[in-house]
A and B are shown apart, each in its own frame.
Chain A
């Protein structure tokens, strides 16, 4: 089942057409019941995307379908089931209890209110007895953020959108918030869409990770992205110097290469202990294996290989990994075919 389908979405904050839009997504869909991660640099459009998905803002062009039906801000089914924790959460000028109960009261759903509010506070690790009566101004940054999350969790939303939930909170608060979000997913089947710089966490929990850059979605999965400056080379190829004697060569570049972004899928990267084994037609780069990580959803192992300052992500099955004896700290060759590089 698809939860969201985005169709020819363009969103501009500035009406001048000369400027590139804040967000431009031709087609994209999100699976229902999944945890989806959004990563990408600051200003790439993650927050804008989440606001559109949360129906806080209406896209300048295009349509958003929710569970197969066109949806728009203000619709009952949207307001009742989709909730966003914005990047800078705002607490209403009332006490913690009323902040958490606000959404329930909007829905005129006051049965068993106290117990539900207390449960939500428990979920984010705030003792209800101590915190419920506190006024909004008597909270630390991490506590306020957790109250804001509790105000969303109490609604048991079908869709929970989290915009940088753990930035600028202390480690303990971050831990509590991560656990609470997972609880929502496991207990109530909430679909989660999370933007975060905590790639490790996203890799741990997400079924799917999307890279957002310059207002566009650069494919799904664990792609390695390479940014310019690009230099033209022979035979319709371009290159990017990564380190001494290590040049990333890519084929089929776009006409305009100044701001082009190259992506290479883990499926197209193969690993070798020695460059002698690399078959012809492949480009090879020597790097250092820095990290191994398990992708929960698939059971595959992600390998991070650093070449200069660029980190490539490759993936292997656990069996292959065991036979090859790859371990962090090992020098390793990565190989790919230049024509497998895709461009954005």
Chain B
């Protein structure tokens, strides 16, 4: 029990004493998660929207595949990405192993199905009367899509936050692809894993609290934006 209180104390210390190692891990976490989220949202929202909005042959099968991919174990993604970016792998020449870029690719694979699936669900679950209403007010095809997208913004945002949560807390991919290299690819979660391995439980808890604080800031700003 002691190390929980000790962890709380250390969390403050780490943040306010400007602990360079901690800030390096925070920066790495923010970099990879922002990159993964930017790509996942840019690709995932339009595809998810298309999947939920359009009716085409094989739609249900695609949906099933995407939903299944939501359950991809992160360690498995890590292994697959490792297999590709290892110097022996097909993408080995790009030198992505043990880089933040490599982690970001893995995290994108993790987040993309979540964004696509939840966006598709959000669009599918819109009121059938929304389409009638938009059309009856004179919306053309692009306006119908934009209007639907805007009406489902809250649900899509919730999906994006769910994906962000997975990405931020991910440890398997970051460990296998990133290698937990100090000052370079050590993220908050891999640092927690390391501190736990070293038996420094208080330090692990402190880092966990730092991660929680970041998540709080992100969710807080989204909730603020939503109000407006």
Residues of A within 8 A of B (CB): 51, 54-56, 73-74, 79-80, 83-86, 88-90, 92-93, 102-103, 106-107, 148, 151-152, 155
CA distance A106 to B213 in the complex (A): 42
* Residues of chain A contacted by B143 (CB below 8 angstroms): 106
Check if B135 is an interface residue, CB within 8 A of chain A: yes
26 contacts between A and B (CB under 8 A): A51-B132, A54-B135, A56-B131, A56-B132, A56-B136, A79-B135, A79-B139, A80-B138, A83-B137, A83-B138, A84-B132, A84-B136, A85-B136, A86-B133, A86-B136, A89-B133, A90-B133, A92-B147, A92-B151, A93-B153, A103-B137, A106-B138, A107-B138, A152-B137, A155-B137, A155-B138
| CB closest residue in chain A, given B136 | A84
The 8 closest A-B pairs by CB, nearest first: A90-B129, A84-B136, A103-B137, A79-B138, A90-B133, A86-B132, A56-B135, A106-B138
Q: Please name the residue on chain B nearest to A106 by beta carbon.
A: B138
Interface pair A90/B138, CB less than 8 Å apart: no
Contact (Cβ within 8 A) A92 B136? no
Mask for B137-177, Cβ within 8 A of A = 1, else 0? Answer: 11111010001001101100000000000000000000000
Interface: B54 (CB within 8 A) = no
- Chain B residue at minimum C-beta to C-beta distance from A148: B133
Give CA–CA (A311, B137) in the complex, Å.
39
Partner of B135, one of A73, A80, A92: A73
Interface size class of B (residues with CB under 8 A): 10 to 19
Contacts of A103 in B (CB 8 A): 137-138
B130 and A90 form a contact (CB under 8 A): yes
Q: A90 contacts which of B132, B140, B150 (Cβ < 8 Å)?
A: B132
Within the complex, which residue of B137, B140, B151, B154 is in contact with A74, where a contact is CB–CB below 8 Å? Answer: B140
> Which A residues lie within 8 Å of B154 (CB)?
93
CA distance A74 to B133 in the complex (A): 14
Query: Chain A residue with minimal CB distance to B135?
Result: A56
CB distance from A202 to the nearest CB of B (A): 21
How far is A79 from B144 in the complex, measured between Cα atoms in Å? Answer: 12
Asked whether, in the complex, the Cβ of B137 is within 8 Å of the Cβ of A151, the reply is: yes
**Complex-state Cα separation, A74 to B139, whole angstroms:** 8
> Which of chain B's residues 116-130 have a Cβ closer than 8 Å to chain A?
127, 129-130
Beyond contacts A103-B138, A106-B137: 18 other A-B pairs, Cβ-Cβ < 8 A, are A55-B135, A56-B131, A74-B140, A79-B139, A79-B140, A83-B138, A84-B132, A86-B132, A86-B136, A89-B133, A90-B127, A92-B133, A92-B150, A92-B151, A93-B151, A93-B154, A106-B143, A155-B138
1/0 per position for B3-19, CB-CB distance to A under 8 A? Answer: 00000000000000000
Q: How far, in angstroms, from A89 to B141 measured CA to CA in the complex?
A: 20
State the CA gap A151–B150 with chains docked (Å).
18
List, in ascending order, chain B residues with CB within 8 A of A90's CB. Answer: 127, 129-130, 132-133
CB A134 to nearest CB in B, in angstroms, measures 16
> Would you give the shortest CB distance from B98 to chain A, in whole angstroms?
46
CA of A104 to CA of B136 in the docked complex: distance in angstroms? 12
Please give the distance in Å from B156's CB to the nearest CB on chain A. 12
User: Which residues of B lie under 8 Å from residue A85 when comparing CB positions?
Assistant: 136
Closest to A86 in B: B132
Give the nearest-CB partner of B151 in chain A.
A93
User: Which of B131, B135, B143, B147: most chain A Cβ within 10 A?
Assistant: B135
**Once the chains are docked, how many angstroms separate the CA of A45 from the CA of B141?**
26
